[in-house]
Amino acid sequence: MSIEVTDTLVVGAGQAGIAMSEHLRNNGVPHVILEKDRIAEAWRSGRWDSLVANGPAWHDRFPSLEFANTDPEAFASKDRVADYLVDYATMVDAPIRTGVEVLSAKRLPDRAGFRVETTTGPIEAKSIVAATGAFQHPVIPPVVPEKTDITQLHSFYYRNPDQLPDGNVLVVGAGSSGAQIADELQRAGRKVYLSVGPHDRPPRAYRGRDFVWWLGVLGLWDVAAQKPGTEHVTISVSGAYGGQTMDFRRLASEGMTLLGLTQSYKDGVLTFAEDLQKNIANGDASYLTMLDAADTYVERTGIALPQEPDARNAWADPDCLTTPIRELDLVGEGITTIIWATGFRQDFSWMNVSAFDEAGQPQHQRGVSSEPGVYFLGLPWQSRRGSTFIWGVWHDAKHVADQIANQRKYLAYQGPND
């Protein structure tokens, strides 16, 4: 029986797979994209109802297409982002097959390339690009046993306040997801407890410019991970309600109780680390560092932007910050739900190739793996801070496509003519 053959097989049709297709096409590389669900599925079904993009529409997009009928300063809704990606896939004529899951990929024993098993049959490909996303499987740390009366869910499964049982809510994790969900629940009238870990907390805007602009002109989106651990500090930012700086003191002034890192659980009592003040102080430092860098930039370039001294005013320290709570009796506090906004893990279990280190992490340089013909896209800090974001992945996709095209040229070389 004949088997389908393609040059490059891209797995996943989120923003990474779509960007990959554009650049492969520009390089004349024949390819197929397989997507187990729908195009941009993560933006459709993997986000809460009210989620909007973290950056304004003029910024959170691919370079060659603007959001249609959208105020460039607005924060596009999750469905608008998904529609945009579908439009983009159509524009670049991406050869996407939806509803096809890749089950495994294995190097061919006798020639270059891979045999890929899919739910619609096998395919042979010279190269494979794993564009399966950095935020695949929700991770809940094993702190509170599953069998308690408390409803526990990951932020991935949170949709809206009405979905939760009546009662108070503990949100664990104060990155963009946790902080936004906590804010939404508090606005919906819930009493909210927020467990705050290490984070960066940029100003939403400063001196009339959104922080995405500042990170751009300061070259910070392009920063490569510099030292181990750097890449793990989450950015707490929000485009909700028109876009506001994520300020934990403000949230506390509105009634939220801030807590340190969630540590352990025994007999209905949760214990929190003694790190709340440090985490908030480090978040403040990241905020002020950004203001300083912006002021220095204005000074050096002479660009005409208004002063904004009020941006340095801090809200008063709430009691929960001056005297942090170390233990919480969940029933006593009326907490009926815990939302774990504690991150995701990737899944490369379908790749039976030697492109991983001992910890199972991709071994790669800017997405080009240690195994010839295997490429990654959309990894956190793949080449830069912006790598998992819409605009960042586009640049990484260009690099990976160029590398695939280069390899094709080398392999097409026939040697010197005698």
Ligand X SMILES: Cc1cc2nc3c(=O)[nH]c(=O)nc-3n(C[C@H](O)[C@H](O)[C@H](O)COP(=O)(O)OP(=O)(O)OC[C@H]3O[C@@H](n4cnc5c(N)ncnc54)[C@H](O)[C@@H]3O)c2cc1C
The minimum distance between CB 403 and ligand X, in angstroms, equals: 18
Q: Return the number of the residue (123 or 298) whose C-beta is nearest ligand X.
A: 123
Q: Return the number of the residue (56 or 260) whose C-beta is nearest ligand X.
A: 56
Q: Is the Cβ–Cβ distance between 84 and 65 less than 8 Å?
A: yes
Among 15, 21, 127, 234, binds ligand X (CB under 6 A): 15
Q: How far is CA 27 from the centre of its chain?
A: 28
Among 88, 158, 348, 350, binds ligand X (CB under 6 A): 350
Binding mask 136-175 for ligand X (x = CB under 6 A): ----------------------------------------
Among 77, 238, 388, 407, binds ligand X (CB under 6 A): 388
Number of residues that bind ligand X (CB under 6 A): 33
**Is 383 near ligand X (CB under 6 A)?**
no
Among 6, 8, 21, 54, binds ligand X (CB under 6 A): 54
**Is 82 near ligand X (CB under 6 A)?**
no
Among 77, 132, 234, 407, binds ligand X (CB under 6 A): 132
The minimum distance between CB 147 and ligand X, in angstroms, equals: 28
Q: Binding segment for ligand X among 86-94, 250-258, 355-363, 384-392 (CB under 6 A)?
A: 384-392
Among 9, 10, 11, 29, binds ligand X (CB under 6 A): 11
Phi, then psi, of 165 in degrees rounded to 5: -60, 155
Q: Binding segment for ligand X among 15-23, 302-310, 328-336, 354-362 (CB under 6 A)?
A: 15-23
**Is 374 near ligand X (CB under 6 A)?**
no
> What is the radius of gyration, based on Cα positions, of the chain?
23
The minimum distance between CB 171 and ligand X, in angstroms, equals: 14
**Is 398 near ligand X (CB under 6 A)?**
no
Q: How far is CA 385 from the centre of its chain?
A: 11
Q: Return the number of the residue (173 or 260) whose C-beta is nearest ligand X.
A: 173
**Is 375 near ligand X (CB under 6 A)?**
no
As given in the structure block, the two tokens for residue 388 are 């998992």
Among 7, 87, 101, 284, binds ligand X (CB under 6 A): 101
Phi, then psi, of 387 in degrees rounded to 5: -60, -35
Q: Binding segment for ligand X among 6-14, 142-150, 266-274, 368-376 (CB under 6 A)?
A: 6-14
**Is 205 near ligand X (CB under 6 A)?**
no
Q: Return the number of the residue (11 or 171) whose C-beta is nearest ligand X.
A: 11
The minimum distance between CB 175 and ligand X, in angstroms, equals: 9
With helix as H, strand as E and coil as C, how does the chain read?
CCCEEEEEEEECCCHHHHHHHHHHHHCCCCEEEEECCCCCHHHHHCCCCCCECCCCCCCCCCCCCCCCCCCCCCCCEHHHHHHHHHHHHHHCCCCEEECCCEEEEEECCCCCCEEEEECCCCEEEEEEEECCCCCCEECCCCCCCCCCCCEEEEHHHCCCHHHCCCCEEEEECCCHHHHHHHHHHHHCCCCEEEECCCEECCCCEECCEEHHHHHHHCCCCCCCCCCCCHHHCEECCECHHHCECCCHHHHHHCCCEEECCEEEEECCEEEECCCHHHHHHHHHHHHHHHHHHHHHHHHHHCCCCCCCHHHHCCCCCCHHHHCCCCEEECCCCCEEEEEECCCEECCCCCEECCCECCCCCECEECCEECCCCEEECCCCCCCCHHHHCHHHHHHHHHHHHHHHHHHHHHHHCCCCCC
Within 24-53, the residues that bind ligand X by CB under 6 A are 34-37, 41-43, 47, 53
| Nearest CA-CA partner of 350 in 360, 341, 365 | 360
Among 14, 173, 243, 324, binds ligand X (CB under 6 A): 14
**Is 250 near ligand X (CB under 6 A)?**
no
CA dist 85 → 55, 56, 62, 136 (Å)? 16, 16, 9, 18
Q: Return the number of the residue (15 or 407) whose C-beta is nearest ligand X.
A: 15
Among 60, 184, 200, 275, binds ligand X (CB under 6 A): 60
Q: Return the number of the residue (55 or 373) whose C-beta is nearest ligand X.
A: 55
Q: Return the number of the residue (200 or 275) whose C-beta is nearest ligand X.
A: 200
Residue nearest to ligand X (CB): 14
Measured CA to CA, the distance from residue 270 to residue 268 in angstroms comes to 7
Binding site for ligand X (CB under 6 A): 11-17, 34-37, 41-43, 47, 53-55, 60, 101-102, 131-135, 177, 350, 378, 388-390, 393
